[in-house]
Amino acid sequence: MTGQAHTDAAADTVESDLRCGHCGTSTAMLRQGQRWCGTCHIWLVRDHTGTEWVSYAEREHRQHATETARRIADATGVVTRTLPRLQALVPPGWQVTVHQPSSAIPTIAVDPPPGTVDATAYLQPADGDRGWYVRIHNRARRIDFPLYTAGGAHAAYFATTAKALHAARTALAIEMVDAGHR
């Protein structure tokens, strides 16, 4: 009897209660066969962790936020582990430090000796593999550019830390020559 009533109800517009993650209201409603919050007037789907019922937009937002946090955490691990090795590889006078803007992917900043050129190379860990991308920021010339592959179609990818550092130092050497000619 109870089982029959439950089946009838499920086939209609009611299922077991769940809590809307937006307004906190308990709802058992279905609309067009999908979970619905009558207070927020939104369809509800499980978020990416499967623990809360939220809108499609919120699920997307949470997924994106989690992915970003993961990338930052991964990159933080990589730059922290790599830093001592890079510090050992640069000549005296050069500075190698972790550059970590809040809520952004951390990079390793490579600075030439003071008094040469006001420019920094940033080594950014590539996502999903072990390589690096390199950007040059020349404050004196107010330019900021990634190192490109020959032909300039894609940002250059450096498979090893040593190769990335070599490319960064070569690019900074060019900026130093430019600065010297001013």
Contacting residue, 37, 86, 96, 164, with Zn ion by CB under 5 A: 37
Nearest-approach distance from CB 42 to Zn ion, in angstroms: 7
Per CB under 5 A, the segment of 35-43, 84-92, 94-102, 171-179 that binds Zn ion is 35-43
Nearest-approach distance from CB 9 to Zn ion, in angstroms: 21
Please, which residue, 39 or 76, has the CB nearer to Zn ion? 39
Mask: binding to Zn ion, 81-110, rule CB under 5 A, as x and -? Answer: ------------------------------
CB 21, CB 30: distance < 8 Å: no
Per CB under 5 A, the segment of 32-40, 57-65, 107-115, 169-177 that binds Zn ion is 32-40
Per CB under 5 A, the segment of 10-18, 34-42, 126-134, 142-150 that binds Zn ion is 34-42
Contacting residue, 19, 22, 48, 61, with Zn ion by CB under 5 A: 22
Q: Which residues contact 157 (CB under 8 A, 6 or more apart)?
A: 126, 131, 132, 133, 149
The beta strand positions in 92-163, using DSSP E, are 95-99, 107-111, 119-125, 132-138, 143-146
Q: Which residues contact 146 (CB under 8 A, 6 or more apart)?
A: 133, 134, 135, 136, 155, 156
Nearest to 38 by CA among 11, 18, 8: 18
Q: From CA 148, how far away is CA 45, in angstroms rounded?
A: 42
Binding flag, residue 23, Zn ion (CB under 5 A): yes
CA torsion, ordered 95, 100, 104, 107, to nearest 10 deg? 30
Contacting residue, 18, 28, 30, 39, with Zn ion by CB under 5 A: 39
- Per the document, the length of the chain is 182
Per CB under 5 A, the segment of 29-37, 74-82, 111-119, 143-151 that binds Zn ion is 29-37
Nearest-approach distance from CB 39 to Zn ion, in angstroms: 4
* Own/partner pairs, 7-15, CB within 8 angstroms, 24+ separation: none
Residues of the shown chain interacting with Zn ion in the complex, contacts defined by CB under 5 A:
20, 22-23, 37, 39-40
